[in-house]
Amino acid sequence: MAIDAATVKKVANLARIREPDDRLEPLAQELSGIMAWIEQLNEVDTDGVEPMTSAVAAKLPMREDVVTDGGSVEKILANAPKADKGFFVVPKVVE
């Protein structure tokens, strides 16, 4: 299915990536090209096929629900663009 500039704009917004208006059309063409190539999957009969979500026989290992780690505030904040008094500093969200 062809992807148009409006769809690219919508998807870029969902992905939280700023794409300037003059990039929307070229991106639409690129992505349409890739999606057209992907369309060949429709040739495969997948009726009754169980989707494969993992390459390993998936039974998630369980562990005790207890605290195993903590007290690492400094390590956690070590790479923060902005931090203050043991907290991340983020832009104001609520007025």
Partner 1 sequence: MSKLTGLTLKGAIDGLRAKSFSSVELAKAYVEAIEQARPLNAFVVETPDQALAMAAASDARIASGEAGPLEGVPLGIKDLFCTEGVRTTACSNILGDFKPTYESTVTSHLWRDGAVMLGKLNMDEFAMGSSNESSAFGPVTNPWRSKASNRALTPGGSSGGSASAVAADLCLAATGTDTGGSIRQPAAFTGTVGVKPTYGRCSRWGIVAFASSLDQAGPIAKSVDDAAILLRSMCGHDLKDSTSLDVAVPDFPSFVGQSVKGLRIGVPKEYRVEGMPAEIEQLWTDGIAWLKEAGCEIVEVSLPHTKYALPAYYIIAPAEASSNLARYDGMRYGLRVDGEALDDVYKDTRAKGFGQEVKRRVLIGTYVLSAGYYDAYYLKAQKVRRRIADDFTQAFETVDALLTPTAPSAAFGLGENVADPVAMYLNDIFTVTVNLAGLPGISVPAGLDAQGLPLGLQLIGRPLDEGTIFSLAGALEKAANFTGKPERWW
Residues that bind partner 1 (CB under 8 A): 3, 7-8, 11-12, 14-19, 27, 30-31, 33-35, 37-44, 46, 49-56, 60-61, 63, 72, 75-76, 78-82, 88, 90-93
Task: Write down the least CB distance from residue 61 to partner 1, Å.
Answer: 6
Kindly provide the b/e burial profile for residues 58-90, where b requires at least 16 CB atoms within 10 angstroms of the residue's own CB: eeeeeeeeeeeeeeeeeeebeeeeeeeeeeeee
Measured from the CB atom, the residue of 72 and 85 that comes closer to partner 1 is 72
